[in-house]
Structure 1
Amino acid sequence: MVSIIIPVYNEAEQLPILLRHLQKMSSGFVAEIIVVDGGSSDNTVQIAKDHPKVFYIPSEKGRAVQMNTGAGLAKSEILYFLHADSLPPENFDSLILAEVKKGNNAGCFQMRFDKNHWWLNLMGQFTRINHISCRGGDQSLFVERKLFKKLNGFDESYIVYEDNEFIKRLYDNCRFKVIKSWITTSARLYEKMGVWSTQKLFAEIYWKRRFGASAEELYSHYYKRTSS
């Protein structure tokens, strides 16, 4: 069985869509859906509490903290971390279980955006490649609990880039599998900032990290660019 862990912050619009989607696309191997809220000020908390299939958990803000909190309370041996604006493929849970049975104890799905733009379509095609440079949190992430604990989970000093930092450690310590089915993620940041400005920001974060920038420096740069 699979425990789904969804970190949220002000996702009142997207969360109901995702919960309906999970119910429709699951093949019956989801043990629980854990929604970990980082202090939302909209109706996110009530939506989570009102859903009969959701286990709601309050947390400090920050996806790394929220995901670790959810993982610590999960019941299943397979953890599946999912962003609120990413919709996994049909039978996603059975696809994950099949890979774990093959000995692939961590992995993700190929990713496409919900916006038809040639550059975003190209970026989606790159996610088919099993290389660390083609990974990101919007592709979702499954990992066996024992491996997650062995690696001490997400580094909570990261406010941004937390997925990439943890996935890099997974690549170093296990057989990482890219499942050949598509998860569809929102292009809302690209729509807000513009495709090229957003891509430039992600490239800057990537290279700053490669050249040794701290978690705090990465967040400072990201916040400055996205809040302007």
Structure 2
Amino acid sequence: MMRLSIVVPLLNERNLIADLAEQLQPWQQRHDCEVILVDGGSGDGTAQLARDAGLRVLVSSRGRALQMNCGAAAARGEILLFLHGDTQLPASAQELIEDALAEKYCWGRFNVRIAGRSFWFPLIATLINWRSRLSGIATGDQAIFVRRREFEQLGGFPEQPLMEDIELGRRLLKISRPACIGVPVSTSGRRWQSRGVLRTVLLMWRLRFAYWRGVPAEILARRYE
């Protein structure tokens, strides 16, 4: 069995720590798995709360790509799994990943389910999963996993402020298409609910289309904020 390293970037997420610790502590107790949280300079005590909960925490410069690269550099696993703090893995995640990578793939992602009260969420999740399957591109909400060898070969995540997951997927596609695991991870719908579900969906579509047209990620990040 290959060693799995779960890398979680965090920034000002103190309200997530209790649930995150409950999810991740069983994973870090496995002899063939490690969990690394990477704080991007939170001002709300996220890092200390996570340490108090028994989780390993590193501190890096702010930026999801920078934080995930920092965690990957410290990781010892042959497989790297990049997990958002508000996303929950299925209990069988490690076995599913190993089975997928035992075939022709060097990377992959899970289907996603969006947790929340909006009746739009099942439709949005279905569209995300089908778009990913057809395009071969994955987003961070889908818990991207990759063999360390290929991740390092490509230089890790591109150090850009937005679309780092899309860009990594583009580069990995030159090596292989992703393994698409049908068992879903569950991610919080808070981002959609806080900004408005349809407004957020339209914004993300516009940003991804602009990125596909070649608009720099730095400009898109300002639009996103």
Calculate the TM-score normalised by the size of structure 2.
0.91
The reply to whether residue 121 of structure 1 matches residue 125 of structure 2 is no
- 1:207/1:63 CA distance change after superposition, 3 Å: same
Aligned equivalent of 2:165: 163
TM-superposed CA distance for 1:126, in Å, is 2.9
Task: Indicate conservation of the 8 Å contact 1:2/1:29, yes or no.
Answer: no
Find the aligned partners of 1:83 and 1:22 in 2 and give their Cα distance.
Answer: 12
The separation in 2 between residues aligned to 1:171 and 1:50, in whole angstroms, is 39
Instruction: Note closer, same or farther for the CA distance 1:209–1:86 as it changes in structure 2 (3 Å cut).
Output: same
Question: Once the 2 structures are TM-superposed, how far is the Cα of residue 78 of structure 1 from its aligned partner?
Answer: 0.5
Measured after TM superposition, the shift of residue 55 of structure 1 is 2.2
Runs of 4+ displaced beyond 4 Å: 24-27
2-structure distance, mates of 1:221, 1:6 = 25
Q: 5+ residue gaps in structure 1? A: 224-228
Quick one: which amino acid aligns to residue 46 of structure 2? T
The answer to whether the 8 A contact 2:38-2:57 is kept is yes
User: Which residue of structure 2 lines up, in the alignment, with residue 154 of structure 1?
Assistant: 157
Partner Cα separation in structure 1 for residue 28 and residue 67 of structure 2: 23
Contact 2:4/2:94 (CA < 8 Å) preserved in 1?
yes
> Which residue identity lines up with residue 167 of structure 1 in the other structure?
G
Is the Cα–Cα contact under 8 Å of residues 34 and 56 in structure 1 kept in the other structure? yes
- Asked whether the equivalents of residues 107 and 178 of structure 1 are also in contact (C-alpha less than 8 Å), the reply is yes
Task: Report the AA paired with residue 153 of structure 1.
Answer: G
What is the distance in 1 between the residues matched to 2:117 and 2:26?
24
Superposed counterparts of 1:1-228, under 5 Å: 1-24=3-26, 28=30, 30-52=32-54, 54-129=55-130, 130-132=133-135, 135-156=138-159, 158-223=160-225
Distance in 1 of aligned mates of 2:60 and 2:104: 33
Residue 89 of structure 1 aligns to a residue in which SS?
Answer: coil
Cα-Cα RMSD: 1.9
One-letter code aligned to 2:43: S
Q: 1:46 to 1:149 in 2, by over 3 A?
A: same
State the secondary structure of the residue aligned to 1:173.
Answer: coil
